[in-house]
Structure 1
Amino acid sequence: MNFVPHAPADIAAMIASHPLAWVVSRDFDATPLPLLAECDGQGRLVSLFGHYARRNPQVAVFEADPRALILFNGPQGYVSPSLVSNPVWGATWNYATLRIVAEIAFVASETDVALRRLAAHLEPQGGWQVDAMGDRYDRMIDHIVAFRATVTSCEAVFKLGQDEADGTFAEIVAGHPNRDLARAMRDQGDRRPPNPE
């Protein structure tokens, strides 16, 4: 069973709902950063947009060597046999992950855009905006630099119950306490072929 998303847009949707990623440099340093997906006209991920504090040592590392490994964890959780009626069914762990290799380029001229786009993404109902910071924003932005990570490869693993029998799958989706995981299973499961008991 290949645990792959059904469509390229599923990758961007996972990043949108779980934007925090580990950005790993060649020296094995790593920083958790919220990132935004940038896609082509077919919904395929082409780059990630974010920002660093200029004092972060990875800035100098990526200026010298732009290659990065970027890791996203989406919905995940333990799946207990207590959720299913099959007495011989075994426990498992369901998850959605992305392993992305990218080339990072700093785009200082887009730092204001990066901060505003991230705030708009995280405050979708028009809540807090960076302008609320007043003069403090103008002082802060000098210590931040935007970057774009151009994707060279993306390995998506969506292990979300695609191999389960229909009845077992339905029981897990109905009863799992992590509703984020259950929704992800349902979204991927809506497009899986029937799998009889």
Structure 2
Amino acid sequence: MGHARDSRYAPRHDGDVLRLLDAQPFAWLVSPGGDDAAFTPLPLRTEIDAEGRLVALRGHVARRNPHVARLRRDPIAYALVIGPHAYVSPSWLDDRTQAPSWNYAAAAFTLHVDCSEDAADIAEELDAMVNSMEAGRPNAWALPEMGERYARLAQGVTALRGRIIETRATFKLGQDEAPHDFAQLIAGLVSGGEHALVDWMRAFDADRTA
């Protein structure tokens, strides 16, 4: 991500990356290169240490997925997350000489991934993932409701823990826009229903103008 090297678009603090992952837990897990290159879309959840730092991403895949063998051979992989994003049109601006752009929030993580087929690790991972996805839902579902079907499911699962080696995050949210242009872009995005992106833009702009 080229913009990850531009300090204007850096996360303000670790909380921005955590918020992105909480809002968009579905990611690409990528092991590039070689004849067994592997690319798996999957939900990931965060692991936070005692100091509140993001230290790992956890998830699970089907045991038959060839990606498992690749991770056992080479545990270095990448998790790619795309959050809210939208085309930014010059048609919303008084100054129509400006170029179009794209605003977005995204993160790339370099991981060292450990695979486990231990029954306790799998049970912990599946239970935690279900609880995080079901939280706040009316009549929320819980894993024990599967009954004996759970055992058959668990036998086909590999639990993953990706220790984070490096994080590159980009929050390109209009930090380089003049206040008048920024307000017009916000209005254009709101009219297009891009409310999640607008929320991010307003949060970063509040810090910029405080």
TM-score (norm. length: structure 1):
0.91
Contact residue 76 and residue 110 of structure 2 kept, 8 A: yes
CA distance in 2, matches of 1:50, 1:111: 10
What letter corresponds to residue 160 of structure 1 in structure 2?
Answer: L
CA distance in 1, matches of 2:184, 2:52: 32
Aligned to 1:186: 202
Over the matched positions of the two proteins, sequence identity in percent amounts to: 36
For this pair of structures, how many residues does the alignment match?
194
Alpha-carbon deviations, 1:80-128, whole Å to 9, x = none?
1222333333211011111111100123332111111111221111512
What letter corresponds to residue 79 of structure 1 in structure 2?
Answer: V
Q: Secondary structure at the match of 1:114?
A: helix
Structure-to-structure mapping, 1:120-135, within 5 angstroms: 120-126=131-137, 127-135=140-148
What letter corresponds to residue 11 of structure 1 in structure 2?
Answer: V
Aligned to 1:103: 112
Alpha-carbon deviations, 1:146-177, whole Å to 9, x = none?
11100000111111111111122222223312
Aligned to 1:14: 20
Contact residue 38 and residue 70 of structure 2 kept, 8 A: no
What letter corresponds to residue 173 of structure 1 in structure 2?
Answer: I
Compared CA separation, residues 93 and 9, structure 1 to 2 (3 A) = same
Aligned to 1:136: 149
Aligned to 1:164: 177
Compared CA separation, residues 179 and 20, structure 1 to 2 (3 A) = same
CA distance in 1, matches of 2:92, 2:153: 49
What letter corresponds to residue 76 of structure 1 in structure 2?
Answer: H
Using the TM superposition, give the Cα deviation of residue 42 of structure 1 relative to its aligned residue in structure 2, in angstroms: 4.5
TM-score (norm. length: structure 2):
0.85
Contact residue 12 and residue 43 of structure 1 kept, 8 A: no
What letter corresponds to residue 142 of structure 1 in structure 2?
Answer: Q
RMSD: 1.7
CA distance in 1, matches of 2:132, 2:173: 26
What letter corresponds to residue 68 of structure 2 in structure 1?
Answer: V
Range with bigger deviation, 148-157 or 17-26: 17-26
Q: 4+ residue runs of structure 1 moved beyond 4 angstroms? A: none
Gaps of 5+ in 1: none
Aligned to 1:34: 43
Using the TM superposition, give the Cα deviation of residue 32 of structure 1 relative to its aligned residue in structure 2, in angstroms: 0.4
CA distance in 2, matches of 1:188, 1:44: 21
Contact residue 28 and residue 40 of structure 2 kept, 8 A: yes
